Amino acid sequence: MANKYKYFVGNWKMFGNFSSLKMINSVNYHINKIKKKEIKVIFCIPNILINHFSKKLKNTKILIGAQNCHYLQDAGPYTGSVNANMIKNAGAKYVILGHSENRIEGDTDEIINKKIKSAINNNLKVIFCIGENLLEKNKNLTNKILLKQINKGLNSINTLKKIIIAYEPVWSIGTGKIPKFEELNKTVFYIRKKLSKKFKDKKTVNILYGGSVNSKNVVQLNSIKGINGFLIGGASQSKKKFIDIIKNCYM
């Protein structure tokens, strides 16, 4: 069992500027028309926009998050890096950690674990990404990879109250391909089973799906009971596409 909310998380990646606030305001206008109250809409935006957007959206239903952070909590000689304390101070409520694009750039499971602990210590909620690549999938290693990422990424963490799991098959991101229904259903069940075994607070297990989510396939994706929402990449950069995704979950 998970909590009552359906999550719609936009990962803007390297996209957006100060004028992009208009797009989020439009999303806010449309979600206010949806009678369902159990909706959480989060935009994880570039760091330079966090402070401005969080202030402007303070009295709305939109929450702001960051896309990554350094694992150190204190200041240090890391040019260009931003730690959890900084993004929290800027106004972020959430942070994406473990995204495959950051793993490719050197984020190991051990580094991600340090980042998660730092984020939690700074009262940020974590969107923790896990997922297998195409080679691992073809070798039937999906479950093994996911379990390793869960065990190492969440090492020495005792609760999931501030953690949301985002299952993002690496081979699906930006490709337009998504897992088959039965395949995804089994994978989500496996993730939930392992998390429920590892953590006592089973009611707080929230699992998002990410990877080429659009307004058409979200209807089928939303029918999988174990999925509590979506981590949306490219489609979150368009107000129409993002709004249509939300609308189609409540048809």
Dihedral pair phi/psi, residue 161, rounded to 5°: -60, -30
Asked whether the beta carbons of 239 and 26 are under 8 A apart, the reply is yes
Which of 112, 74, 67, 97 is CA-nearest to residue 165? 97
According to the model, what pLDDT value does residue 1 have?
Answer: 43
Residue 225 region by backbone torsions, left for phi larger than 0, else alpha for psi between -120 and 50, else beta: alpha
Q: Which residues pair with 207 in a beta bridge?
A: 165
Q: Say how far residue 139 (Cα) sits from the centre of its chain.
A: 26
Q: Report the distance separating Cα 118 and Cα 59, nearest Å.
A: 28
Burial 63-78 (b: 16+ CB within 10 A, else e): bbbbbbbbbebeeeee
Q: How far is CA 89 from CA 21, 85, 207, in A?
A: 20, 6, 27
Q: Which domains does the chain have, with CATH numbers?
A: 6-248 (3.20.20.70)
**Catalytic site residue from 70, 101, 132, 168:** 168
According to the model, what pLDDT value does residue 202 have?
Answer: 65
**Catalytic site residue from 70, 99, 101, 132:** 99
Pick out the chain residues at pLDDT < 50.
1-2
Dihedral pair phi/psi, residue 242, rounded to 5°: -70, -45
Active site residue 110: no
Asked whether the beta carbons of 214 and 235 are under 8 A apart, the reply is yes
Token match 């590892």: residue? 198
Active site residue 168: yes
Is this prediction's pTM over 0.95?
yes
According to the model, what pLDDT value does residue 2 have?
Answer: 47
Q: Report the distance separating Cα 14 and Cα 224, nearest Å.
A: 30
